[in-house]
Amino acid sequence: MASTSSAEGAHQTNPEKVKLVTVLSIDGGGVRGIIPAIILSFLEEKLQELDGPDARIADYFDVVAGTSTGGLLTAMLTAPGKNGRPLFDAKDLAQFYIDHSPKIFPQKNWILSKIFGTLRMVRGPKYDGKYLHALLRQYLGDLRLDKALTNVIIPTFDIAFLQPTIFSSFELKQRPYKNALLSDISIGTSAAPTFFPAHYFETKDANGSTRAFNLVDGGLAANNPTLCAMNQVTKDIILGDGDFFPVKPVDYGKFMVISLGCGSNRKSRYSAKAAAKWGIFNWLIKDGTAPIIDMFNAASGDMVDIHLCVLFRALRSSHNYLRIQYDQLTGSAGSIDDCSKENVDKLVKIGKDLLNKTVSRVDLETGWNVDVPGEGTNAEKLAKFAKQLSDERRLRQKLPK
């Protein structure tokens, strides 16, 4: 699969080699990105058991998509380091959050932090984002989207146009102005309203034409970017890039998808009687959370999951779709910015425990995840997917070009 850059890697593969189009998708969720980071570490470990210690996530997926904190994880998994290999090993991702979250989301005394944090959110963003911006500039440097080691898709939302702006490797030929710095894309997709300031930057194409971007969190458009990724691949097929994706535009049966959530809190539900009395302030800030943002994110994630569950089931290929999401976050674990040691340890434990939980799907009527009979645990399913990914990669490498 793609092993140098998206442009080179894609065209090194001829149609006879591609039996599956492999997609990895990572939701948004702030510090809760620790949860998918734990899952990714397990998956990469299984790939290394099959193909050796140099195996990396980016070697096996045709597309890696991420929104908000998932966009940060996507960049870290696919950006090349000095040796041309991925900047981060998956096993280091959770530690990245543990080390840097306290400075990304600086907290003081808990009670004072909650009070002053709420006051800041009334007047402006809760955090200035300076540490996060500097961190991303440091790690990603001058790397642009076209240097990613496989095809990357990162949704954002442009408030100047009031519409989603998707940074996609597939669009660079037709829209070269989207070949932005990975650091700018990552800052933009993670600029959650009320938490971080909107992000402005400009790009220039080969003709010197300038394009301005005014971005906020991609979660406003697609907190779960799985369907967005599949649509981008389908669009690429329709436009004629059949040398890499030799499937028909609606041949979703050849997709293999792993979709990772950052957890949700189904227990913090609201009643119509209470919400009927809310004003703007309560919709934006209530009990240390932002209800309207939580609702947007939950709705976005679940609708995509429901759509894909139905689609893969109709195509009799449910075995090719895996959604891993924890829906019972409580207390501080449901926050996107609580980076206390106690909460971070809790998130790490949730990620590890999630591996041992039974494969599940969201139920449209109840909103709860329900076990899928006969599928085993998430860890067992990931191990099977790792074998499929390894087999697909070996097949592509073995057959003549």
Query: What is the spatial distance between Cα 370 and Cα 396, in angstroms, rounded to a whole number?
Result: 36
Q: Strands 151-158, 63-66: parallel, antiparallel or unpaired by DSSP?
A: parallel
Annotated catalytic residue, options 5, 6, 25, 68: 68
Annotated catalytic residue, options 27, 217, 305, 338: 217
Query: What is the spatial distance between Cα 201 and Cα 43, in angstroms, rounded to a whole number?
Result: 35
The gap from C-alpha 393 to its chain's centroid, in whole angstroms, comes to 23
Query: What is the spatial distance between Cα 188 and Cα 217, in angstroms, rounded to a whole number?
Result: 6
Q: Which amino acid is at 309?
A: C
Q: Which residue has the tokens 């070996």?
A: 394
Task: Name 391's Cβ contacts closer than 8 Å, sequence gap at least 6.
Answer: none
Query: What is the spatial distance between Cα 201 and Cα 189, in angstroms, rounded to a whole number?
Result: 13
The 3-state secondary structure of 193-221, one letter per residue:
CCCCCCEEEEEECCCCCEEEEEEECCHHH
Task: Name 324's Cβ contacts closer than 8 Å, sequence gap at least 6.
Answer: 36, 39, 258, 259, 260, 261, 354, 378
Query: What is the spatial distance between Cα 336 and Cα 332, in angstroms, rounded to a whole number?
Result: 9
Active site annotation includes 217: yes
**Terminal Cα-to-Cα distance of the chain (whole angstroms):** 13
Residues forming the active site: 68, 217
